[in-house]
Structure 1
Amino acid sequence: MEVLPYFNLKGLMDLELAKLDGAEVSKISEINGEETTVEKTYSLKEWKEEFEAFYSADINTPALALSYLTETEGEYLIHRLLPEAKGKVKEIRIKYIKEYPVSVSIKTTDKNLFFSTTTIGEFYISQANEKLDHYTLETSQKVWFLDPTHIKISGVVK
Protein backbone atom coordinates (compact mmCIF):
# COMPACT_ATOMS: atom_id res chain seq x y z
CA MET A 1 0.00 0.00 0.00
CA GLU A 2 1.33 3.43 -0.98
CA VAL A 3 2.13 5.85 1.87
CA LEU A 4 0.68 9.28 1.14
CA PRO A 5 2.19 12.51 2.49
CA TYR A 6 -1.19 13.87 3.63
CA PHE A 7 -4.60 12.61 4.77
CA ASN A 8 -6.20 10.43 2.07
CA LEU A 9 -9.32 12.54 1.48
CA LYS A 10 -10.08 10.91 -1.87
CA GLY A 11 -9.89 7.43 -0.27
CA LEU A 12 -12.21 8.48 2.58
CA MET A 13 -14.67 9.96 0.07
CA ASP A 14 -14.70 6.73 -1.97
CA LEU A 15 -15.28 4.68 1.18
CA GLU A 16 -18.04 6.87 2.61
CA LEU A 17 -19.90 7.55 -0.65
CA ALA A 18 -19.99 3.83 -1.47
CA LYS A 19 -22.13 3.42 1.68
CA LEU A 20 -24.61 5.99 0.32
CA ASP A 21 -25.31 4.47 -3.12
CA GLY A 22 -29.10 4.73 -3.48
CA ALA A 23 -29.54 6.85 -0.32
CA GLU A 24 -32.00 9.72 -0.16
CA VAL A 25 -30.93 13.26 0.68
CA SER A 26 -32.93 16.27 1.77
CA LYS A 27 -31.06 19.14 0.15
CA ILE A 28 -31.40 22.91 0.44
CA SER A 29 -29.74 24.95 -2.31
CA GLU A 30 -29.43 28.70 -1.97
CA ILE A 31 -28.19 30.86 -4.83
CA ASN A 32 -27.89 34.58 -4.07
CA GLY A 33 -30.53 34.26 -1.35
CA GLU A 34 -33.04 32.26 -3.43
CA GLU A 35 -33.70 28.94 -1.70
CA THR A 36 -34.83 25.61 -3.16
CA THR A 37 -35.48 22.39 -1.23
CA VAL A 38 -35.50 18.96 -2.87
CA GLU A 39 -35.59 15.36 -1.71
CA LYS A 40 -33.75 13.05 -4.06
CA THR A 41 -32.23 9.59 -4.20
CA TYR A 42 -28.66 9.68 -5.47
CA SER A 43 -26.70 7.01 -7.28
CA LEU A 44 -23.01 6.61 -6.45
CA LYS A 45 -22.13 8.64 -9.55
CA GLU A 46 -24.42 11.48 -8.41
CA TRP A 47 -22.94 11.43 -4.91
CA LYS A 48 -19.45 11.75 -6.40
CA GLU A 49 -20.63 14.74 -8.45
CA GLU A 50 -22.22 16.31 -5.34
CA PHE A 51 -18.91 15.94 -3.46
CA GLU A 52 -16.64 17.02 -6.33
CA ALA A 53 -15.31 19.94 -4.24
CA PHE A 54 -13.92 17.43 -1.74
CA TYR A 55 -12.44 15.21 -4.44
CA SER A 56 -10.74 18.20 -6.05
CA ALA A 57 -9.32 19.17 -2.63
CA ASP A 58 -7.02 16.13 -2.68
CA ILE A 59 -3.50 17.39 -1.93
CA ASN A 60 -1.67 14.07 -2.36
CA THR A 61 0.16 15.00 -5.56
CA PRO A 62 3.93 15.12 -6.11
CA ALA A 63 3.74 18.85 -6.89
CA LEU A 64 2.22 19.58 -3.44
CA ALA A 65 4.38 17.15 -1.42
CA LEU A 66 6.16 19.90 0.54
CA SER A 67 3.46 22.59 0.39
CA TYR A 68 1.55 21.94 3.63
CA LEU A 69 2.21 22.19 7.32
CA THR A 70 0.63 19.24 9.12
CA GLU A 71 -0.26 19.59 12.78
CA THR A 72 -2.63 18.25 15.39
CA GLU A 73 -4.81 20.35 17.70
CA GLY A 74 -6.67 18.13 20.17
CA GLU A 75 -8.74 15.70 18.11
CA TYR A 76 -8.02 17.55 14.83
CA LEU A 77 -5.49 16.76 12.11
CA ILE A 78 -4.88 19.92 10.09
CA HIS A 79 -3.08 20.48 6.79
CA ARG A 80 -2.45 24.20 6.12
CA LEU A 81 -0.90 25.60 2.97
CA LEU A 82 2.47 27.13 3.77
CA PRO A 83 2.59 30.93 3.21
CA GLU A 84 5.23 30.67 0.47
CA ALA A 85 3.52 27.73 -1.31
CA LYS A 86 1.09 27.95 -4.19
CA GLY A 87 -2.08 25.88 -4.08
CA LYS A 88 -5.86 26.23 -4.25
CA VAL A 89 -6.50 24.16 -1.12
CA LYS A 90 -5.77 26.44 1.84
CA GLU A 91 -6.76 24.07 4.64
CA ILE A 92 -8.07 20.59 5.33
CA ARG A 93 -9.23 19.86 8.87
CA ILE A 94 -10.14 16.33 9.96
CA LYS A 95 -11.75 15.62 13.34
CA TYR A 96 -11.09 12.21 14.85
CA ILE A 97 -12.95 10.32 17.55
CA LYS A 98 -11.42 6.99 18.53
CA GLU A 99 -9.00 7.08 15.58
CA TYR A 100 -11.80 7.38 12.99
CA PRO A 101 -12.60 10.58 11.08
CA VAL A 102 -16.00 12.00 12.05
CA SER A 103 -15.84 15.29 10.18
CA VAL A 104 -13.82 16.91 7.41
CA SER A 105 -13.73 20.57 6.45
CA ILE A 106 -11.98 22.15 3.50
CA LYS A 107 -11.22 25.68 2.39
CA THR A 108 -10.16 26.39 -1.19
CA THR A 109 -9.55 29.62 -3.05
CA ASP A 110 -8.68 30.43 -6.61
CA LYS A 111 -7.88 33.87 -7.93
CA ASN A 112 -6.63 35.43 -11.12
CA LEU A 113 -7.01 38.74 -12.91
CA PHE A 114 -10.60 38.03 -14.01
CA PHE A 115 -12.22 36.06 -11.19
CA SER A 116 -11.94 34.85 -7.63
CA THR A 117 -13.70 31.99 -5.89
CA THR A 118 -13.71 30.66 -2.36
CA THR A 119 -15.27 27.37 -1.28
CA ILE A 120 -15.78 26.12 2.24
CA GLY A 121 -17.12 22.61 2.68
CA GLU A 122 -17.81 20.33 5.61
CA PHE A 123 -19.22 16.86 6.04
CA TYR A 124 -20.00 14.84 9.13
CA ILE A 125 -20.01 11.10 9.71
CA SER A 126 -22.44 9.72 12.28
CA GLN A 127 -20.85 7.67 15.02
CA ALA A 128 -24.12 5.76 15.47
CA ASN A 129 -24.26 4.21 11.97
CA GLU A 130 -20.76 5.16 10.67
CA LYS A 131 -22.23 6.79 7.56
CA LEU A 132 -22.01 10.28 6.18
CA ASP A 133 -24.83 12.14 7.92
CA HIS A 134 -24.93 15.73 6.66
CA TYR A 135 -22.86 18.24 4.71
CA THR A 136 -22.57 21.87 3.63
CA LEU A 137 -20.80 23.56 0.76
CA GLU A 138 -20.56 27.31 0.40
CA THR A 139 -19.03 29.06 -2.58
CA SER A 140 -18.57 32.74 -3.38
CA GLN A 141 -17.55 33.67 -6.91
CA LYS A 142 -16.67 37.06 -8.26
CA VAL A 143 -16.13 37.57 -11.97
CA TRP A 144 -14.67 40.84 -13.16
CA PHE A 145 -17.44 43.40 -13.96
CA LEU A 146 -20.22 41.09 -12.62
CA ASP A 147 -21.97 40.94 -9.27
CA PRO A 148 -20.70 38.22 -6.91
CA THR A 149 -22.51 34.89 -6.80
CA HIS A 150 -23.08 33.14 -3.46
CA ILE A 151 -24.06 29.48 -3.46
CA LYS A 152 -24.83 27.43 -0.36
CA ILE A 153 -25.81 23.76 -0.38
CA SER A 154 -26.84 21.83 2.73
CA GLY A 155 -27.78 18.20 2.70
CA VAL A 156 -29.05 15.72 5.26
CA VAL A 157 -28.81 12.04 4.35
CA LYS A 158 -31.89 10.04 5.27
Structure 2
Amino acid sequence: MFWYKTKLKTAIVFIGGIALSALVPACRPGIKNNGGFDLTGYLKKDAAMLNKLNRPVDKTVTHNGVTETKTVHIADWSSELGLFIDADINKPAFKNSYQVIDEDGLLVYKAKEKDLKVRELIIKRTGGGIRYVLIYNKVENPLYKTTQKLTYFPDSVYRIETVQHVKLLGTNTYFIQGILK
Protein backbone atom coordinates (compact mmCIF):
# COMPACT_ATOMS: atom_id res chain seq x y z
CA MET A 1 0.00 0.00 0.00
CA PHE A 2 2.88 2.38 0.83
CA TRP A 3 4.35 1.77 -2.63
CA TYR A 4 1.04 2.67 -4.30
CA LYS A 5 0.68 5.97 -2.37
CA THR A 6 4.28 6.96 -3.18
CA LYS A 7 3.80 6.28 -6.90
CA LEU A 8 0.51 8.19 -6.88
CA LYS A 9 2.11 11.21 -5.19
CA THR A 10 5.01 11.13 -7.67
CA ALA A 11 2.59 10.95 -10.60
CA ILE A 12 0.55 13.88 -9.26
CA VAL A 13 3.66 16.00 -8.72
CA PHE A 14 4.93 15.09 -12.21
CA ILE A 15 1.63 15.94 -13.93
CA GLY A 16 1.32 19.14 -11.88
CA GLY A 17 4.84 20.14 -12.93
CA ILE A 18 4.03 19.60 -16.60
CA ALA A 19 0.81 21.61 -16.32
CA LEU A 20 2.60 24.42 -14.50
CA SER A 21 5.44 24.54 -17.03
CA ALA A 22 2.88 24.80 -19.84
CA LEU A 23 1.17 27.76 -18.17
CA VAL A 24 4.20 29.76 -16.98
CA PRO A 25 5.36 30.98 -20.44
CA ALA A 26 1.95 32.58 -20.99
CA CYS A 27 2.51 34.74 -17.90
CA ARG A 28 5.90 36.12 -18.89
CA PRO A 29 5.79 39.92 -19.18
CA GLY A 30 8.09 39.90 -22.24
CA ILE A 31 5.49 38.32 -24.50
CA LYS A 32 4.10 40.85 -26.91
CA ASN A 33 0.32 41.05 -26.82
CA ASN A 34 -0.45 42.33 -30.28
CA GLY A 35 2.62 41.89 -32.46
CA GLY A 36 3.35 45.57 -31.84
CA PHE A 37 6.69 47.30 -31.48
CA ASP A 38 8.91 45.77 -28.78
CA LEU A 39 10.11 49.00 -27.14
CA THR A 40 11.76 47.24 -24.21
CA GLY A 41 13.72 44.87 -26.44
CA TYR A 42 14.76 47.70 -28.73
CA LEU A 43 15.96 49.91 -25.87
CA LYS A 44 17.81 47.11 -24.10
CA LYS A 45 19.65 46.32 -27.33
CA ASP A 46 20.45 50.02 -27.78
CA ALA A 47 21.63 50.25 -24.15
CA ALA A 48 23.99 47.31 -24.67
CA MET A 49 25.42 48.99 -27.77
CA LEU A 50 25.87 52.31 -25.91
CA ASN A 51 27.60 50.47 -23.04
CA LYS A 52 30.11 49.03 -25.51
CA LEU A 53 30.71 52.38 -27.26
CA ASN A 54 31.23 54.17 -23.92
CA ARG A 55 30.87 57.58 -25.56
CA PRO A 56 30.94 60.72 -23.41
CA VAL A 57 27.62 62.42 -22.76
CA ASP A 58 26.91 66.08 -22.09
CA LYS A 59 24.31 65.63 -19.36
CA THR A 60 22.17 68.52 -18.18
CA VAL A 61 19.99 68.25 -15.08
CA THR A 62 17.56 71.00 -14.11
CA HIS A 63 15.47 70.96 -10.93
CA ASN A 64 13.06 73.85 -10.40
CA GLY A 65 15.11 76.13 -12.63
CA VAL A 66 18.55 75.31 -11.19
CA THR A 67 20.71 73.77 -13.92
CA GLU A 68 23.96 71.81 -13.88
CA THR A 69 25.76 70.41 -16.94
CA LYS A 70 28.63 67.92 -16.93
CA THR A 71 30.35 65.65 -19.42
CA VAL A 72 30.06 62.12 -18.09
CA HIS A 73 30.42 58.49 -19.13
CA ILE A 74 27.28 56.47 -18.47
CA ALA A 75 28.31 53.13 -16.94
CA ASP A 76 24.87 51.47 -17.18
CA TRP A 77 22.69 52.60 -20.05
CA SER A 78 19.87 50.21 -19.09
CA SER A 79 19.56 52.11 -15.83
CA GLU A 80 19.94 55.51 -17.52
CA LEU A 81 17.12 54.65 -19.96
CA GLY A 82 15.07 52.91 -17.25
CA LEU A 83 12.06 55.22 -17.54
CA PHE A 84 11.92 54.52 -21.27
CA ILE A 85 12.33 50.77 -20.82
CA ASP A 86 9.62 50.73 -18.13
CA ALA A 87 7.13 52.21 -20.63
CA ASP A 88 6.52 48.71 -21.98
CA ILE A 89 2.94 48.49 -23.23
CA ASN A 90 3.30 44.99 -24.74
CA LYS A 91 2.45 43.14 -21.56
CA PRO A 92 -0.47 40.70 -21.79
CA ALA A 93 -2.36 42.76 -19.18
CA PHE A 94 -2.44 45.68 -21.64
CA LYS A 95 -3.95 43.72 -24.52
CA ASN A 96 -6.62 45.91 -26.15
CA SER A 97 -5.76 48.83 -23.82
CA TYR A 98 -4.28 50.98 -26.58
CA GLN A 99 -5.60 52.33 -29.84
CA VAL A 100 -2.96 51.76 -32.54
CA ILE A 101 -2.42 54.08 -35.50
CA ASP A 102 0.22 53.01 -38.03
CA GLU A 103 0.64 55.26 -41.06
CA ASP A 104 3.38 57.07 -42.96
CA GLY A 105 6.20 55.74 -40.78
CA LEU A 106 4.51 56.87 -37.58
CA LEU A 107 3.37 54.27 -35.06
CA VAL A 108 1.14 55.74 -32.35
CA TYR A 109 -0.30 53.96 -29.30
CA LYS A 110 -2.98 55.91 -27.39
CA ALA A 111 -4.33 54.71 -24.06
CA LYS A 112 -8.02 53.82 -24.05
CA GLU A 113 -8.25 53.81 -20.25
CA LYS A 114 -7.64 56.81 -17.94
CA ASP A 115 -5.66 54.89 -15.34
CA LEU A 116 -2.88 53.68 -17.66
CA LYS A 117 0.47 55.31 -16.87
CA VAL A 118 1.67 55.38 -20.48
CA ARG A 119 -0.83 57.71 -22.09
CA GLU A 120 0.76 57.83 -25.52
CA LEU A 121 3.71 56.19 -27.25
CA ILE A 122 4.89 57.55 -30.60
CA ILE A 123 7.56 55.88 -32.71
CA LYS A 124 8.85 57.51 -35.89
CA ARG A 125 10.38 54.98 -38.27
CA THR A 126 12.60 55.84 -41.23
CA GLY A 127 14.34 53.52 -43.66
CA GLY A 128 14.04 50.42 -41.48
CA GLY A 129 15.31 52.21 -38.37
CA ILE A 130 13.89 54.32 -35.57
CA ARG A 131 14.17 58.11 -35.91
CA TYR A 132 12.72 58.85 -32.45
CA VAL A 133 10.57 57.56 -29.61
CA LEU A 134 8.24 59.88 -27.70
CA ILE A 135 6.41 58.78 -24.55
CA TYR A 136 3.81 60.66 -22.51
CA ASN A 137 3.24 59.32 -18.99
CA LYS A 138 0.72 60.45 -16.42
CA VAL A 139 0.05 59.22 -12.89
CA GLU A 140 -2.61 60.86 -10.77
CA ASN A 141 -4.17 60.09 -7.42
CA PRO A 142 -5.55 62.17 -4.54
CA LEU A 143 -2.05 62.86 -3.16
CA TYR A 144 -0.02 63.68 -6.24
CA LYS A 145 0.03 64.16 -9.99
CA THR A 146 3.02 63.42 -12.20
CA THR A 147 3.33 64.04 -15.91
CA GLN A 148 6.32 63.08 -18.00
CA LYS A 149 7.48 63.57 -21.55
CA LEU A 150 10.26 61.18 -22.54
CA THR A 151 12.07 61.69 -25.84
CA TYR A 152 14.72 59.39 -27.29
CA PHE A 153 16.67 59.93 -30.50
CA PRO A 154 18.80 56.78 -30.96
CA ASP A 155 22.54 57.34 -30.79
CA SER A 156 22.02 61.08 -30.28
CA VAL A 157 19.84 62.61 -27.51
CA TYR A 158 17.50 61.61 -24.72
CA ARG A 159 15.28 63.92 -22.66
CA ILE A 160 13.15 63.44 -19.57
CA GLU A 161 10.77 66.23 -18.62
CA THR A 162 8.78 65.77 -15.42
CA VAL A 163 6.30 67.93 -13.55
CA GLN A 164 5.25 66.57 -10.18
CA HIS A 165 2.67 68.18 -7.91
CA VAL A 166 2.38 66.78 -4.40
CA LYS A 167 -0.39 68.06 -2.12
CA LEU A 168 0.98 70.10 0.77
CA LEU A 169 4.50 70.07 -0.74
CA GLY A 170 3.92 71.90 -4.01
CA THR A 171 5.25 71.45 -7.51
CA ASN A 172 8.66 70.26 -8.68
CA THR A 173 9.90 70.36 -12.26
CA TYR A 174 12.75 68.24 -13.57
CA PHE A 175 14.54 68.26 -16.90
CA ILE A 176 17.27 65.81 -17.82
CA GLN A 177 18.98 65.79 -21.18
CA GLY A 178 21.84 63.71 -22.44
CA ILE A 179 23.60 64.53 -25.69
CA LEU A 180 25.99 61.86 -26.94
CA LYS A 181 29.32 63.12 -28.25
**For the Cα contact (< 8 Å) 2:146–2:163, is it kept in 1?**
yes
Query: Partners of 1:104 and 1:8 in 2: how far apart?
Result: 12
Structure 1 residue 110 corresponds to structure 2 residue 142:
no
Which residue does 1:30 correspond to in 2?
A: 62
**What is the letter of the counterpart of residue 97 of structure 1?**
T
**What is the letter of the counterpart of residue 39 of structure 1?**
T
Which protein has greater RCO, CA pairs closer than 8 Å, 6+ apart? 1
**For the Cα contact (< 8 Å) 2:32–2:91, is it kept in 1?**
no
Which residue does 1:74 correspond to in 2?
A: 104
**For the Cα contact (< 8 Å) 2:60–2:70, is it kept in 1?**
yes
**What is the letter of the counterpart of residue 134 of structure 1?**
V
Structure 1 residue 148, shift from structure 2 partner? 0.3
Structure 1 residue 147, shift from structure 2 partner? 1.7
**For the Cα contact (< 8 Å) 1:67–1:86, is it kept in 2?**
no
Which residue does 1:92 correspond to in 2?
A: 121
What is the TM-score with the length of structure 2 in the denominator? 0.77
Give ranges in structure 1 of 5+ residues lacking alignment.
126-131
| Correspondence for 2:79 among 46, 49, 52 | 49
Which residue does 2:168 correspond to in 1?
A: 145
Q: State the aligned residue count.
A: 148
Give ranges in structure 2 of 5+ residues lacking alignment.
1-30
Residues 85 and 116 of structure 1: is their aligned pair in 2 closer, same or farther, counting only changes over 3 Å? closer
Alignment partner of 1:86: what SS? coil
**For the Cα contact (< 8 Å) 2:57–2:72, is it kept in 1?**
yes
Query: Which structure has the highest strand share of the two?
Result: 1
CA offsets per residue over residues 46-66 of structure 1, 9 Å max, x none? x22221111111011111111
Identity %: 29
Query: Partners of 2:97 and 2:33 in 1: how far apart?
Result: 14
Structure 1 residue 143, shift from structure 2 partner? 0.6
Which has the higher Rg, Structure 1 or Structure 2?
Answer: 2
> What root-mean-square deviation, in Å, do the aligned CA atoms of Structure 1 and Structure 2 show?
1.4
